[in-house]
């Protein structure tokens, strides 16, 4: 176990070179109840799995299945900055072999009736103690890690967080040009980095893989 211590369905959209490859799981009624932002979609704290995959332009579902086939073991998945836990809960419901964890500095009422995910209410630094080094297969974070950049803590913290990944484990996070120099430093620390782009070349996400 990696944790220890105390611790609309919508109308069909015609596909084009840069169309959305991820299914939309919200009904029209659900959309009308949620505040929409052109930059952040239907809310960072309550993002669906499809919204997270759309933000990254990458299928978490495919990644988790490939990891399970490769390791033949339960797949440990962490949603860093999980909010209500909607996306990580969907993953746990789809894949019974997923050991799902969500970290947030705030707690949410949705956590209380959720038995699929282990939720941890902690700040960034203290949350690290819940996971052993080389104990997590997949970490993903939609926009949450950016707050560390604005406080000047990104470089040091990202290395600590990635140290929780198993060999060949992957961290997915939003792309930002400000991270370019940091990604170069991660390569020297034993990680490979990749920018995920759309068919039209739009940079959407960063993938960090632990290589040693």
Question: What is the distance between the alpha carbons of residues 47 and 81, in angstroms, rounded to a whole number?
Answer: 11
Q: Considering the chain, what percentage of its residues have pLDDT values greater than 70?
A: 78
User: Average pLDDT, stretch 157-184?
Assistant: 91
Q: In what order do the strands lie in the sheet containing 117-121?
A: 117-121, 98-104, 75-80, 136-141, 165-174, 203-210, 191-197
107 has pLDDT over 50 = yes
What DSSP state is assigned to residue 9? -
Question: What is the distance between the alpha carbons of residues 164 and 160, in angstroms, rounded to a whole number?
Answer: 7
pLDDT tens digits for range 137-153: 999 999 888 778 777 78
Put simply, whether the predicted model's pTM sits higher than 0.75 gets the answer yes
Per-residue CA distances from 208 to 175, 185, 192 (Å):
11, 12, 6
Residue with tokens 């176990």: 1
Residues 6+ apart with CB under 8 A from 199: 17, 18
Alpha helices in the chain (DSSP H): 28-32, 49-56, 60-71, 86-94, 124-127, 146-150, 154-162, 180-188
User: Average pLDDT, stretch 62-77?
Assistant: 97
112 has pLDDT over 70 = yes
6 has pLDDT over 50 = no
66 has pLDDT over 90 = yes
């Amino acid at each position: 176990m990696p944790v220890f211590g105390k611790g609309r369905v919508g109308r069909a959209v015609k596909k084009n070179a840069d169309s959305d490859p991820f299914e939309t799981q919200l009904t029209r009624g659900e959309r009308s109840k949620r505040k929409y932002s052109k930059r952040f979609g239907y809310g960072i704290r309550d993002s669906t799995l499809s919204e997270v995959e759309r933000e990254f332009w990458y299928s978490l579902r495919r990644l988790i299945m490939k990891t399970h086939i490769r390791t033949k073991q339960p797949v440990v998945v962490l949603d860093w900055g999980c909010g209500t836990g909607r996306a990580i809960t969907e993953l746990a419901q789809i894949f019974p072999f997923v050991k799902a964890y969500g970290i947030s500095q705030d707690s949410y009422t949705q956590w209380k009736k959720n038995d699929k995910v282990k939720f941890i209410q902690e700040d960034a630094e203290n949350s690290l103690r819940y996971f052993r080094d080389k104990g997590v297969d997949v970490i993903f974070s939609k926009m949450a890690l950016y707050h560390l950049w604005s406080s000047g803590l990104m470089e040091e913290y990202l290395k600590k967080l990635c140290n929780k990944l198993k060999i060949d484990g992957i961290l997915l996070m939003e792309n930002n040009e400000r991270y370019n120099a940091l990604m170069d430093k991660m390569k020297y620390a034993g990680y490979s980095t990749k920018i995920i782009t759309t068919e039209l070349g739009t940079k959407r996400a960063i993938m960090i893989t632990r290589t040693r």
